[in-house]
């Protein structure tokens, strides 16, 4: 079966391509490399020893996307391509709405035109807003306070409405919690541009000496130790969740949390990283980061029940795999 993977050279997309190829699917990557490295495509081939097709395209470009749908007999689409930095989305809202929402519309339209019924959408726990944890799929979503989160909530609503009008469609909307870690080979992983926004890549760069110390954004939240609690999930578990969702062919649009169901605070993650890798992570407590919520973790029962999927890897392996990738990174090779 042929699967079109948009953003397949990105962090989560590339790990999912590996899982798909290892599961015997054929993969066609569509990526414009704005936020990743074309070298990753070769690394996917190196790791799996399997061939794949790839096209350098902008997924908002209807003509280019139709060319791909015409050229391959596609059995499904996994849509990862999208801008994903909250802070940047506040500075460039138009760019985020256009890129993230138009790409979803272009792909959904092509799926209807070329009778491609399976669609997996990369969503985010951000859509829950400051709801009470654990987050459950049936919850009413609250405003997300940032354009990035709104593009995900909007795309979800678009896909649900399209599925309601086209019962042949089998759409899975996957809400990621906090993806971290890397493939055990250390060949691919998260390569943020510039100073990392996210916690784990910041920690690995402190461990490597590229950054002096970690700023812990606030320790006065109502959590176990006052620091922010998140549901970190290994990117390989996330990739497996996509394969499980693709294999589930019930019709309509179904929404699933992809998390571990466990919350880990910033200080607990630092501690786990230090123990897993035998490295001290210097840090200082600073003010809260605006827009952060205290606690975010998933109720994971639905994915377990309906997809027979659950995360298997623990925070120690997330820390080990993240660190191995960082160590392998040569300066500016990504």
Please say if 128 is a catalytic residue: no
The helix/strand/coil state of 208 is helix
Identified catalytic residue from 11, 128, 148, 221: 148
Among 84, 175, 183, 254, binds ligand WQD (CB under 6 A): 84
Q: Which DSSP state fits 309? A: -
Token reading at 222: 């109502």
Q: What's the token pair of residue 329? A: 């990174």
Distances 54 to 120, 148, 327 between C-alpha atoms, Å: 19, 27, 28
2 vs 197 by CB, closer to ligand WQD: 197
Give 3-state DSSP helix, strand, coil % of the chain, rounded to 5.
Answer: 40, 20, 40
CA distance 331 to 328: 9
Cα dihedral 154, 27, 257, 267 sign: negative
Least distance in Å: CB of 223 to ligand WQD?
A: 9
- Site string (99-138) toward ligand WQD, x via CB under 6 A: -------------------------x-x------------
Task: Supply the minimum distance, in Å, between the C-beta of residue 284 and ligand WQD.
Answer: 10
Q: Does 199 bind ligand WQD (CB under 6 A)?
A: yes
CB closer to ligand WQD out of 69 and 202: 202
Token pair 């795309």: residue = 155
Minimum Å gap between C-beta 319 and ligand WQD is 14
| Binding track over 27-66 against ligand WQD, x by CB under 6 A | ----------------------------------------
Nearest C-alpha neighbor of 257 from the set 291, 313, 224, 306: 306
Residues 262-291 that bind ligand WQD (CB under 6 A): 266, 289
Nearest Cα to Cα of residue 214 among 204, 227, 224, 226: 204
| 151 contacts ligand WQD (rule: CB under 6 A) | no
Residues lying near ligand WQD in the complex (CB under 6 A) are found at 84, 86, 124, 126, 176, 178, 197-199, 202, 214-217, 228, 230, 266, 289, 292
| Active centre residues (catalytic) | 148
């Amino acid at each position: 079966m042929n699967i079109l993977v948009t953003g397949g050279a990105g962090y989560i997309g590339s790990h999912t391509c590996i899982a798909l190829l290892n599961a015997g699917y054929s993969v066609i990557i569509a990526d414009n490399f704005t936020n990743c490295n074309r070298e990753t495509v070769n690394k996917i081939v190196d790791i799996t020893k399997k061939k794949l097709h790839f096209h350098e395209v902008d997924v908002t470009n209807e003509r280019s996307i139709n060319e791909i749908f015409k050229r391959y007999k596609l059995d499904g689409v996994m849509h990862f391509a999208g801008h994903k930095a909250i802070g940047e989305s506040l500075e460039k809202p138009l760019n985020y709405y256009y890129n993230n929402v138009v790409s979803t519309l272009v792909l959904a339209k092509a799926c209807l035109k070329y009778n491609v019924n399976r669609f997996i959408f990369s969503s985010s726990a951000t859509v829950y807003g400051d709801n009470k944890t654990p987050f459950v799929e049936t919850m009413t979503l609250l405003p997300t306070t940032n354009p990035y989160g709104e593009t995900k909530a909007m795309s979800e609503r678009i896909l649900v409405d399209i599925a309601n009008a086209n019962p042949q469609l089998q759409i899975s909307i996957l809400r990621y919690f906090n993806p971290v870690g890397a493939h055990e080979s250390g060949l691919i992983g998260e390569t943020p541009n510039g100073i990392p926004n996210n916690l784990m890549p910041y920690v690995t760069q402190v461990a490597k000496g590229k950054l002096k110390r970690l700023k812990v954004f606030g320790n006065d939240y109502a959590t176990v130790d006052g620091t922010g609690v998140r549901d970190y999930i290994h990117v390989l578990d996330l990739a497996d969740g996509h394969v499980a969702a693709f294999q589930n062919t019930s019709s309509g649009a179904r929404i699933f949390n992809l998390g571990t169901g466990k919350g880990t605070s910033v200080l607990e993650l630092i501690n786990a990283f230090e123990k897993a890798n035998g490295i001290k992570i210097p840090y200082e407590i600073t003010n809260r980061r605006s827009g952060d919520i205290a606690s975010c973790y998933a109720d994971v029962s639905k994915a377990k029940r309906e997809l027979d999927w659950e995360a298997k890897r623990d925070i120690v392996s997330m820390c080990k795999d993240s660190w191995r990738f960082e160590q392998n990174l040569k300066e500016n090779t990504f």
